[in-house]
Structure 1
Amino acid sequence: MTTTTGTPARFRQRLPADVLDRLQDGVRDRLRAQDLDAVLTDDPEDVAYLTGFFHHPGERPVAVLLRPEGSAVLLVPELERQHAQEQHARAEIVSYAEYPGVENPFAPLARAAGHLRGRLGVTTLITQHRLALAQGAFTAAQWVPTELVTRARYRKLPEELALHREAARITDLMLTAGVALVTEAVAAGGDLPSEQELVRHVTSVGTATMYAEHDDVVVVSPLAGGLVYAGPNSAIPHGLPSGYRLRPGDTFMLSLGCAVGGRFVEGERTFVLGEPTADQRRYHDTVRRAQAEGGRAIAPGVPCAASNARCLGVIRDAGLGEYLRHRQGHGIGLGMHEPPWLEDGDETPLEAGMVVSNEPGLYMPGHAGYRISDSMVVTATGSQPLTTYPRALDDCVIPV
């Protein structure tokens, strides 16, 4: 996209006020449906979802109170007030002096709410300590545990999906950059990169792309990067990158992703350095078939458990079920991992507008792991991968 002057248009990461209003209205509808007088959440992702305020969570409480009518109220420590104002937080901002302080930090929020009475929903991720502080300030409220904000986040607005799509574009660039680093090292005839060097390189590509092409970069953790592991290290699904240096014959995995406007995407591919052995081809092809079936299974109305069963059934039918270590996937949004869960224990029906991962994997201790992942958006008729890097083994072989 270009501007009228012919210069490239810069991507804007922050959602405008009218979109935040629509997100809040969606939660208000759920409040009315559950006969709640308000909801209180201190989850940093919920705070960002409802108000557009992103912060580094710590010991100082930050929380949002939302009622069926009126403005959202954002509670921050005084040191974060300017930060919230500069991010144009879509809420009335109230603050407390410091934590732990001589006054309950939730007291200013209770005063702003008119010492709320009635049914006050509280999200289930709050700690016991924070809940005790909040209850000490809202003494007249009846506390009701709820997941209504979490469930409101399942389906993304079109403006949110635009952020996910841009994150997917950058994730594909990071995958391409990782392969290029290895390919160039092979051509140079020297040492191949280490896992850690690959992580550093792809992370720099992801973050540099954002700062070069975007306005108002929303910094979350991780902004860009991921897991890189090779050979036997890749048999640990969430193993951390080490100083291990790639070698000819290795299977290696680039498990990458980034967040644009706080909305995440992950994209994972498994590569082979040199001509694949029969076993490497069998493992990779099996995971590829499972991932393709998983993509077909992700569709509106399909329970998460049913999608998981279809996806992983391909691996079991191939006689490789003993090497499974995890479910098909999970929801993605303001969290890299969030509900719903594509697993046998989650019967949540998939709905258009959800974003979920599709990432079956095989893990052979002492040999390697094989995983292919795309972030999928559920459409009106099925699903669509947001990440597009090639998946077939022949496209994931690096000649040596």
Structure 2
Amino acid sequence: MSADGVAALVLDDPLDVAYLTGFHHFPNERPVACWLPLSGDPVLLVPDLEREYAADQRSRAEILAYPEFPGVRSPFAVLAGHVRAPESAAYAPSTSVARAAALAEAFPGTRWSACGAVGRVRLRKLPEEIALHEEAARIADEMLAAGVELVRSAAESGELPTETELASHVISHGSRLMYARHEDVVVVPMLTGGLVYGGPNSAQPHRLPGGDRLRAGETFMLSLGCAVGGRFVESERTFVIGEPTARQARYYEAVREAQQAGTEALVPGVTCAEANRRCLAVIEEAGLGEHIRHRQGHGIGLGFHEPPWLSDGDATVLAPGMILSSEPGVYVPGHAGYRISDTVLVTESGPRRLTAYPRELADVTI
């Protein structure tokens, strides 16, 4: 903040608020914001109906409540009446135009600008955050195992589950694991969840589960994730029901090798764009470049998708403490999609996979 010439920050992004104060909430029209001065104590601005909940979460800031929205005084006018107005202040680049205008009206003598300081700090995770990611990875891997066991048992009985039945099973299994070990569970936008799709449906990378039933001889994808303490991971595998065909094996092995190369590239000093290039080059060299639909991966933290981006357009230099997905894929219309994803921690000594479900073709054959 000092380097950017900013005397105070007002952060209203719910993930920034959670990062700075520990308060997780469901965002809506009522503003929730953290006032972070360069010197002095932070203030958490909340509607009165959130005041007790913020206290229950032991928020690390003074809690300032406003009566209701909209009110006779705007929430930011309540904040302005409580703090000393600085000459310069900033909001996050994600702050809406309407809220930026409300801040300018509430603090007429303050010069306002956008500042990404908190976002830059969030790129590198603290040890306490890494511990939460590690626990989330344990649960996500167990969700994968539970999904495989359901499909295996169903195959033996003669009726495979639908995509939605499988999704419901793994999501509820993950939730049970969460509550079995953790007393203080804050439900973030997705506590446990993910995408489940089989056969040709999996050729659409972000398709939602439907009522289609899995079929023997086809592949299916479990694209799962969960959050502990608001810190996310994703663990994704593509499975084959029955003996893999030569075609299925070709696609799968190309993705597995690309994922290995891309993961090995996640080391300090390498740019995101370069890691992405090394990863996707494996698929292109296998003659499957036409089936690439997306980048290698993305940052993971309080957001399931957050900077930095493992893509040609991101020159961010990887550094210890960053956590990213490594998830290349190929998508063949009318046939299937193949994707493998691990959540990876960048360390001084190299990449460390937090998710650990096996990746060999034999391991994903049911």
1:77 aligns with 2:47: yes
1:335 aligns with 2:321: no
SS of the equivalent of 1:215 reads coil
Q: Is the 8 A contact 2:226 2:233 kept in 1?
A: yes
Q: How far has the Cα of 1:221 moved from its partner?
A: 1.3
Rounded to whole Å, the distance in 1 between the matches of 2:66 and 2:178 is: 34
Rounded to whole Å, the distance in 1 between the matches of 2:83 and 2:346 is: 38
1:149-168 pair list within 5 angstroms: 149-168=118-137
Q: Runs of 4 or more off by more than 3 Å in structure 1?
A: none
- Aligned partner letter, 2:6: L
Specify the alignment match of 2:100 in structure 1.
Answer: 131
Specify the alignment match of 1:90 in structure 2.
Answer: 60
The Cα offsets for residues 113-137 of structure 1, whole Å up to 9 and x where unpaired, read as 21x1222121011111111111111
Specify the alignment match of 1:107 in structure 2.
Answer: 77
Q: How far has the Cα of 1:112 moved from its partner?
A: 2.0
1:48 aligns with 2:49: no
Specify the alignment match of 2:91 in structure 1.
Answer: 122
Aligned with residue 228 of structure 1, among 171, 184, 196: 196
- Aligned partner letter, 2:328: P
Task: Give the stretch that moved more between structures: 289-298 or 130-139.
Answer: 130-139
1:63 aligns with 2:2: no
Specify the alignment match of 2:342 in structure 1.
Answer: 374
1:243-282 pair list within 5 angstroms: 243-282=211-250
1:321-360 pair list within 5 angstroms: 321-360=289-328
SS of the equivalent of 2:344 reads strand
- Aligned partner letter, 1:54: H
Specify the alignment match of 1:26 in structure 2.
Answer: none
Aligned with residue 4 of structure 2, among 34, 42, 47: 34
The Cα offsets for residues 81-111 of structure 1, whole Å up to 9 and x where unpaired, read as 1111111110011111111111111112112
Rounded to whole Å, the distance in 1 between the matches of 2:113 and 2:274 is: 31
Rounded to whole Å, the distance in 2 between the matches of 1:118 and 1:356 is: 38
- TM-score for both structures, normalised by structure 2: 0.99
Rounded to whole Å, the distance in 2 between the matches of 1:198 and 1:70 is: 51
SS of the equivalent of 1:369 reads strand
Specify the alignment match of 2:140 in structure 1.
Answer: 171
1:394 aligns with 2:362: yes
Q: Is the 8 A contact 2:234 2:341 kept in 1?
A: yes
- Aligned partner letter, 1:184: S
SS of the equivalent of 2:81 reads helix
Q: Is the 8 A contact 2:268 2:346 kept in 1?
A: yes
The Cα offsets for residues 222-254 of structure 1, whole Å up to 9 and x where unpaired, read as 100100000010000000000110111111100
Q: Which runs of 5+ in 1 are unaligned?
A: 1-30
Q: How far has the Cα of 1:33 moved from its partner?
A: 2.1
Rounded to whole Å, the distance in 2 between the matches of 1:35 and 1:133 is: 22
RMSD over aligned Cα atoms: 0.7
SS of the equivalent of 2:281 reads helix
Rounded to whole Å, the distance in 2 between the matches of 1:388 and 1:124 is: 35
- TM-score for both structures, normalised by structure 1: 0.91
SS of the equivalent of 2:161 reads coil
Rounded to whole Å, the distance in 1 between the matches of 2:56 and 2:293 is: 44
Rounded to whole Å, the distance in 1 between the matches of 2:183 and 2:87 is: 42
Rounded to whole Å, the distance in 1 between the matches of 2:88 and 2:274 is: 36
1:214 aligns with 2:178: no
Q: Is the 8 A contact 2:8 2:86 kept in 1?
A: no
Aligned with residue 144 of structure 1, among 113, 117, 132: 113
Q: Is the 8 A contact 2:272 2:308 kept in 1?
A: yes
Rounded to whole Å, the distance in 1 between the matches of 2:79 and 2:228 is: 30
1:203 aligns with 2:171: yes
Q: How far has the Cα of 1:39 moved from its partner?
A: 0.9
Aligned length: 366
1:309-324 pair list within 5 angstroms: 309-324=277-292
Specify the alignment match of 1:288 in structure 2.
Answer: 256
Q: How far has the Cα of 1:384 moved from its partner?
A: 0.7
Q: Which runs of 5+ in 2 are unaligned?
A: none
Q: How far has the Cα of 1:321 moved from its partner?
A: 0.4
